[in-house]
Chain A
Amino acid sequence: MFCKGSSTAYQRYQRDVLRFIAVYVVVLFSASRAMRHARAEHFYVYFWSVLPALPIIGVILRMARYLRDEKDEYQRLVVMRSILVGTAALLAALVVNDFLRAFAGAQALPAFSTFVLFCVAMGIAHFVQWLRNRGSDDEPAA
């Protein structure tokens, strides 16, 4: 949907992000399996706990590289706005959850939810911008 008319930098970015997500899924399932047999004090636990975060960090670094590589200034602006919305939504959710935990005894956000929240908010922002720019495609100019 978003690929049509996208720059090569954006297509490369999307391809690399999908690769990181595939690695993330494999590592997450491997970590879950490995942790069933691990003892809490062991170095092994820390290793497998941190490992699934690495592909996520890879996605974040790939975003930064995309912003550097993108030659189309408007497309770069669209992605920057989306990242900003994702960051704002995540920060707002974490701040609200912090206060709920401090004053209302609420639970922390579910495990693995922070990056998902960021991606969902970013995706919605990207979709809204795509919808706004979809109209008046190629009608004859005045």
Chain B
Amino acid sequence: MTNRLRELRGERGWSQETLATKLEVSRQSVNAIETGRYDPSLPLAFRIARLFGLRIEEIFSETA
């Protein structure tokens, strides 16, 4: 799975720490999701989508 988390975070000028605080997770979690080493659970994916005001599929997509 790929995601646009880094891009969306960059558009808002947030650091990983800021995004982590907003999502109530650790910075390591944000880093692992951004680098594709960890795919978040559905509840966390919904929290991310809600924070950016987008649908899940606009942030996360299946890799071919």
Contacts and interface: CB of A to CB of B under 8 A. Distances in A.
B10 A73 contact: no
B contact face: mostly helix, strand, loop, or mixed: helix
Interface in B2-25: 6-7, 9-10, 14-17, 20, 24-25
B63 interface: no
B26 to A, nearest CB: 5
Interface string B22-57: 001111110111110110110010000000000000
Nearest to A73: B41
B35 to A, nearest CB: 6
A71 B15 CA distance: 21
Interface residues of A, number: 18
A142 B11 CA distance: 8
A49 interface: no
Most buried by A among B9, B15, B24, B29: B29
Interface stretch (A53-61, A83-91, A115-123, A131-139): A131-139
B31 A75 contact: no
Interface string A68-81: 00011111011000
A130 B24 CA distance: 20
A137 B27 CA distance: 8
A contact face: mostly helix, strand, loop, or mixed: loop
Interface residues of B, number: 25
Nearest to B32: A74
Interface of B: 6-7, 9-10, 14-17, 20, 24-29, 31-35, 37-38, 40-41, 44
Given A73-B44, A133-B28, 19 more contacts: A5-B27, A7-B26, A72-B25, A72-B29, A73-B40, A74-B25, A74-B26, A74-B28, A74-B29, A74-B32, A75-B28, A75-B29, A132-B37, A133-B32, A133-B37, A138-B15, A141-B7, A141-B10, A142-B10
